[in-house]
């Protein structure tokens, strides 16, 4: 992944985190947009490394995964989380439905409406062709469903197979 926050010191990281948690005080400027992009890419990198290193069917992303998952499947029973389209997330009808869903978790999910990146295809890495912008609650609902329903296991199994091949070649 192209962006990395690894070369920033602790004070710079705290400043980024603090400024991004007060959106009402921010103006649109390129520095803030770059800080958000760096934070979003860092989150995406951590998430990808997590789901490809730990069996995602056993993974918990929040303390309220059960509640998020049950509410999600109650409101989106037929949504195929393996492969999503922009329209399923961002059409006028979808936006309204997602907004109502996300508002139910206000106060329960930290930064519930903070922007983040979401893979449209669960078998892909985060890349420009298959990644879209979403809010944290939407991301969590979809990724928790992918974990529980076994969709993210593809990446984990792929990495495990690669490890076996590499270990056998040495």
Instruction: Kindly give the confidence (pLDDT) of every residue in the chain, 170 residues in length, as a single tens digit, with 9 standing for 90 and above.
Output: 444 455 556 666 566 666 556 666 656 667 777 788 888 889 899 999 999 999 999 999 999 999 999 999 999 999 999 999 999 999 999 999 999 999 999 999 999 999 999 999 999 999 888 999 999 999 999 999 999 999 999 999 998 998 888 888 76
Measured on CA atoms in the order 120, 126, 130, 136, is the torsion positive or negative? positive
CA dihedral 64, 147, 158, 81 (to 10 degrees): -130
Per-residue pLDDT at 8 = 58
Architecture (CATH level 2) of domain 10-168: Orthogonal Bundle (1.10)
Burial class (CB in 10 A: 0-12, 13-18, 19+), 132: middle
Token code pair at residue 79: 């949504």
Length of the chain (residues): 170
**What are the backbone dihedrals phi and psi of residue 84, each rounded to the nearest 5 degrees, phi first?**
-105, 160
């Amino acid at each position: 992944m192209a962006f990395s926050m690894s070369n920033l010191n602790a004070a710079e990281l705290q400043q980024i985190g603090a400024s991004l948690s007060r959106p009402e005080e921010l103006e649109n400027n390129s520095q803030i947009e770059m800080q958000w992009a760096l934070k979003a890419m860092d989150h995406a990198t951590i998430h990808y490394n997590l789901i490809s290193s730990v069996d995602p069917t056993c993974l918990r992303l929040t303390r309220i995964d059960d509640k998020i998952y049950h509410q999600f499947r109650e409101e989106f029973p037929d949504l195929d989380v393996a492969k999503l389209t922009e329209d399923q997330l961002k059409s006028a009808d979808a936006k309204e439905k997602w907004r109502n869903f996300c508002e139910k978790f206000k106060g329960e999910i930290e930064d519930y409406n903070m922007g983040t990146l979401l893979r449209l295809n669960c078998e892909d890495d985060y890349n420009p062709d298959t990644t879209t912008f979403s809010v944290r609650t939407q991301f969590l609902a979809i990724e928790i469903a992918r974990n529980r329903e076994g969709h993210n296991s593809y990446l984990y199994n792929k990495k495990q197979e690669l490890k076996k091949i590499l270990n056998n070649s040495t």
